[in-house]
Structure 1
Amino acid sequence: MTTASSSFKIANRSVGEWISSLPTLIILLITIFVASGEIIHSQLLRVGEATWEEYFLLRGAGVVGEPTCDRNPDIDEQVRRTVIQREADMADDPLADMFGTDIDEDAIRRSIERSVQVCNERWQRFERIEERVTPGVKAFRTVEVGVSRMITTIGESRRTLLTLLVLICAATATMSRHHIAIRPVRTVRDHYVSTIALLSANTLLFVSAVQYRERQLMSIAEGISVSHYGLNLIWITGFGVLAAINIYHLVKPPKDLEQGGNYGKALLTIPLYGFMSLSAGSRFMLDGYYHGMSVYLGMMMEHSTMFLNLALYIWIGMMLKQTRMAQLVFNVLRPWKMSPELLCFVVLLVTAVPTAYTGASGIFVIAAGAVIYSELMRAGARPQMALATTAMSGSMGVVLRPCLLVVIIAALNNQVTTAELFGSGIKIFFLTAFLFFIYSQFARKEPARIAPFREALPESIRRLRPLIPYVVLMAAVIMFFNHVLDRRLDEFSAPIILPVVLLSILIYEYVFSKKSADQLGLELEDTAGGDPRPTGFEPALRRATNETTGHIGALLMLMALSVSVGGIIERTGLMEAMPTDFASVWVAAALLMLVLVGIGMIMDPYGAVILVNATIAQVAFAAGIDPLHFWMMTLVAFELGYLTPPVALNHLLTRQVVGDDEVEKAKLTTGSFWDRYEKFLLPIAVMLTALITVTFLPLWFDGLHEWLFQKVGRG
């Protein structure tokens, strides 16, 4: 996906790249700088303290003024003045006789002497520090303090950075028609229905932002302090730009549209965030809460670090897509000549780890879905099964370390920790993988096969050789952060370390790897879809950022409006209507399971987690469901929701990367019901079985509950 299609170029870059991709790249790099800058600053302080004793005091030399107290006062004179002042105060106090009129001069003298002693200590410390401030200390302090101030200044602007990122990328996705919808726009009627609906949705957002500003002005007039006042002007401008783009599309529709169409299918071309904006905005207006969507956008800004990290994960995924790593891994698997079903199983196992490291299921589908689908088709997989596996490739690893979604759950709750969640998650991962293996084998159309070890193993090992430099390079970057910056790769540092890893790989790949692969006689193909690969680091980075911009706009707008949908659910009291007293924990688990799947079908994972934490979680805990058990249920239920129509977000993202024409060709009109709808039925069967198992079996067997949801001791 390109950010703009324009023949006019400046410095060999399109106008779209200058006004969308470049600002996006700058914001992402600033986000990395702020987070890594905090790590660097802490290391600078550690180096300073190790090099100069009392560096924390030395860094203030020349900045903190000298003490203002008198180190050699006339103590007798001060005692005399204090006594006179006390006598004057008692003379003016009508109640002084009640408390006594004696003045203890010795106590006054001791107090003054202690003050003089403290003053002398201040002077001595000041002089000692000034004497020890060498040119080296001054130079180091200048760097350290400069880094600190820069990080603090930029770090305080995270909300502004996120707002700009969302709106710039949303404008790009709108201009390129890249928002997520159930059906693509094909006909003239599709175009007008979709565009008019989006214009209405963006107009509601614009009106909400304007109303919110009016509320802010009223609060200021009443003397009430308003935080982040200027941020709302950015939202107003951004939503106005989105509406203007919609008007432009109405005036100038695409030339390749088919004639005709019907309104039923046309409604399905409306982007999901448009449906959310129309439903939330209209509901808020009926309640007289005209600025409601802007209020909930403000709540999204409360988690600005989380959403900026999510944008980084999308960028990581798009850079991964530009590398040859996925195809090199498939090169290793190819000599085994596995049957399609067995290869699908192996692919899901292999893709679970990058899914966890790219933050969420949809991001990995966008990053590697095209390669996965094409390789499975090449191995002889049925189109429906290849689509099912591609959609599921982003679902298996969401319970593994260091998935951002799990980190958010732990951050919102003090009942569970990341260690506990990931500990249970890996067990559920293997359960889900086993279930996929069983279902896929029952659905196979030919006998299972695999090449003999004596034939496949030597060739597979030979094909591992091109991957060795990648492993070494990744290990080098991780070790640098670990040993030099004292920051190991975990769920908290992954959004910062992984972009550096991918940037290093891009530099390596376009300098060395193709030559090395040619020498080894290995096959390296272009990406699926026939897109030519960039021929250098800068083109690869630019292409990755171009794709990142559109995907950030599509996903973050969907997430932003999901928060508003969550607001509707809260305000209508739908969750409060749920019973709080259940006949048994089994009834509670069954009802909660259905509700969680429903939420997963209509909301993005991050907005859904925030909603569930604020509403359903407490109901589950009160019903006797263990917090760790509940959140594992939630994660599996969400993934089932993302794979289940009518929305099926992972399938929509699969269609985006595989191509509408390819998905249409995969449809069958003959065969059994399973054959015709396997791309939906196989993932649903796997995840539904996993959900039922995770929900009910631990309630039945205490030993299983204890093993599956083990608690980690806390100090």
Structure 2
Amino acid sequence: MIVALMFGIFVLFLAFGVPIAFAMGLSAVAVLLVDGGVPLLVLPQRFFSSLDSFPLLAIPLYVFAGNLMNYGGVTNAIVGFSRSLIGHVRGGLGQVNIMTSVLFSGISGSASADVAAVGGMMLPAMKKEGYKPQWSVVITAASAILGPIIPPSLLMVVYGAMTGLSIGTLFLAGIVPGLFLAAIMMLLVYFKADEIGAPRHERARFKDIVAIFFKALPALVMPVIIVGGIQSGLFTPTEAGVVAVVYGLCFGWITHRLDFRKTYHFAFRSVVTSSSILIILGSAALFSWIIAREGVPALLAAWLSSVTSEPMIVLALIVLSLIVVGMFVETISALILVVPILTPIAQSFGFDMIHFSIVVIVAILLGSLTPPVALIILMGCKIAEVDYMKTMRPLAPFFAVLVLGLLCIMYFPSITLGLPSFFGALN
């Protein structure tokens, strides 16, 4: 009853437009007041102890580094490099859009940042070349989910901090699934090129590709430095954030795109963004503590065991639930909300936790593309000034291939675990 009351209050707060961090925290406070069996002094202790984590220091660092690199002109260079490589392929700028998201994911680590940065450049360009705007929005939004899958990823940093899993191993585990999803989306664009309205471009000359490659090299090198440094033992994921910030600062100053005022502006903006994430984490700690205290994960595990003893069916049920959660709740908030509930269930059914984490992240991201809410699609529509309802038809084939991709990731763990196993990152 306590948990049911807490969820009821939580949903009521959301319905009134209360930010999710305060909705979780206030609903936890409310049920403890009703229960009366726990001193309220426990609340600040639980809140702040959940944030006393060294890996969480990586969040503001990665956000800051992404802001620095994006302003430094890297996005322009990435778009140009992608266009020189595959702009001539059937699907033209649609293919470039997806490849740009793949490369940009090494900087942003966030789906919303990908939509804002890549969409801000690609959507006007695609409109100018005659692409149907609703298709352009869907391509941009669908490829944006690659940002939190291909490292470095804010979602993986949060997941690792909450569960104790190696963030470096999570980074490695996300590379192949991210590239796999990008490949099937590019294949879809190839076959849908005529419907999208994609013109063909001439193949770029080799010397032009080389010249543009060197312009984009700073962006291409950063994820290699981060993942390579972590796996080689040179630094921890948190220290890698420091390296990324120093790298971004040096790049901005060398290219004369940054000065003290702009650096301060990006630092301040990064602190605000990171603070909102940490407030959500603290509130979620109260929320999840009450859920665990009432034994909900054990009850859910017992219920799932009574429904079926087949782990893969259980995994499918979990994925369906995550897609529904992702429809209504922003991705980081959704992850923070569900991980404390799902981790004990996954352990009870014997799932590999690294594989399970990637499945959870992809499922939540897929939820952000799922109608009727489709948060990432809404962002793209706002940028391109496109009617949201017009995107439903082009979204259907993209959603279908992404569901197919998620099923492959679910039922073929080697897609996720192959690279970490190759580098000896699995225990």
Q: Which TM-score band (shorter chain)?
A: 0.7 to 0.9
Q: Distance in 2 between matches of 1:685 and 1:547?
A: 36
Q: Distance in 2 between matches of 1:361 and 1:626?
A: 25
Match of 1:235 in 2: none
* Amino acid corresponding to residue 252 of structure 2 in structure 1: L
Q: Distance in 2 between matches of 1:602 and 1:572?
A: 25
User: For 1:510, which of 238, 256, 279 is the aligned residue?
Assistant: 256
Match of 2:4 in 1: none
Match of 1:282 in 2: 30
User: For 1:386, which of 123, 132, 136 is the aligned residue?
Assistant: 136
Q: Distance in 2 between matches of 1:333 and 1:543?
A: 29
Alpha-carbon RMSD across the aligned residues, in angstroms, is 4.4
Contact 1:313 1:495 in 2 (8 A): yes
User: For 1:498, which of 236, 239, 244 is the aligned residue?
Assistant: 244
Report how far residue 613 of structure 1 moved.
Answer: 5.1
- For structure 2, which runs of at least 5 residues remain unmatched after alignment? 1-8
Q: What does residue range 116-265 of structure 1 map to in structure 2 within 5 Å?
A: none
Match of 2:50 in 1: 300
Match of 1:370 in 2: 120
User: For 2:177, which of 428, 453, 466 is the aligned residue?
Assistant: 428
Match of 1:320 in 2: 69
* Amino acid corresponding to residue 666 of structure 1 in structure 2: V
Match of 1:519 in 2: none
Q: Distance in 2 between matches of 1:329 and 1:400?
A: 16
Alignment deviations for residues 418-441 of structure 1 (CA, whole Å, 9 cap, x no partner): 565445433212321122124434
Report how far residue 506 of structure 1 moved.
Answer: 1.5
Report how far residue 408 of structure 1 moved.
Answer: 5.4
Q: Distance in 2 between matches of 1:487 and 1:705?
A: 21
Contact 1:359 1:398 in 2 (8 A): yes
User: For 2:386, which of 663, 666, 690 is the aligned residue?
Assistant: 666
Q: Distance in 1 between matches of 2:241 and 2:213?
A: 27
User: For 1:616, which of 336, 342, 346 is the aligned residue?
Assistant: 342
1:541 matched to 2:268? no
Q: Distance in 2 between matches of 1:347 and 1:713?
A: 32
More helix by share: 2
User: For 2:409, which of 658, 673, 694 is the aligned residue?
Assistant: 694
User: Share of identical aligned residues, percent?
Assistant: 19
Contact 1:487 1:493 in 2 (8 A): no
1:685 matched to 2:403? no
Higher relative contact order, structure no. (Cα contacts within 8 Å, ≥ 6 residues apart): 2
Report how far residue 575 of structure 1 moved.
Answer: 3.0
Greater CA radius of gyration, 1 or 2? 1
Match of 2:311 in 1: 585
User: For 1:644, which of 352, 370, 384 is the aligned residue?
Assistant: 370
Q: Distance in 1 between matches of 2:333 and 2:364?
A: 11
Match of 1:76 in 2: none
TM-score by length of 2: 0.74
Q: Distance in 2 between matches of 1:340 and 1:385?
A: 15
* Amino acid corresponding to residue 247 of structure 2 in structure 1: V
Q: Distance in 1 between matches of 2:417 and 2:279?
A: 40
Report how far residue 467 of structure 1 moved.
Answer: 4.5
Secondary structure of residue in 2 paired with 1:396: coil
Report how far residue 507 of structure 1 moved.
Answer: 1.1
* Amino acid corresponding to residue 35 of structure 2 in structure 1: D
User: For 1:566, which of 288, 299, 307 is the aligned residue?
Assistant: 288
Q: Distance in 1 between matches of 2:356 and 2:264?
A: 42
CA 1:313/1:678 → structure 2, altered by over 3 Å: closer, same or farther?
A: farther
Q: Distance in 2 between matches of 1:634 and 1:557?
A: 22
Q: What does residue range 406-417 of structure 1 map to in structure 2 within 5 Å?
A: 406=156, 409=159, 417=166
Match of 1:345 in 2: 95
Secondary structure of residue in 1 paired with 2:98: helix
Match of 2:355 in 1: 629
Secondary structure of residue in 2 paired with 1:301: coil
CA 1:583/1:299 → structure 2, altered by over 3 Å: closer, same or farther?
A: same
Q: Distance in 1 between matches of 2:34 and 2:396?
A: 39
Alignment deviations for residues 85-113 of structure 1 (CA, whole Å, 9 cap, x no partner): xxxxxxxxxxxxxxxxxxxxxxxxxxxxx
Q: Distance in 2 between matches of 1:587 and 1:429?
A: 24
* Amino acid corresponding to residue 642 of structure 1 in structure 2: S
Report how far residue 496 of structure 1 moved.
Answer: 0.4
* Amino acid corresponding to residue 403 of structure 2 in structure 1: L
CA 1:276/1:418 → structure 2, altered by over 3 Å: closer, same or farther?
A: closer
Report how far residue 591 of structure 1 moved.
Answer: 2.0
Contact 2:111 2:145 in 1 (8 A): yes
User: For 2:201, which of 445, 448, 451 is the aligned residue?
Assistant: 451
Q: Distance in 1 between matches of 2:272 and 2:426?
A: 43
Report how far residue 460 of structure 1 moved.
Answer: 4.0
Match of 1:311 in 2: 60
In the comparison of the two structures, how many residue pairs are matched? Answer: 403
TM-score by length of 1: 0.47
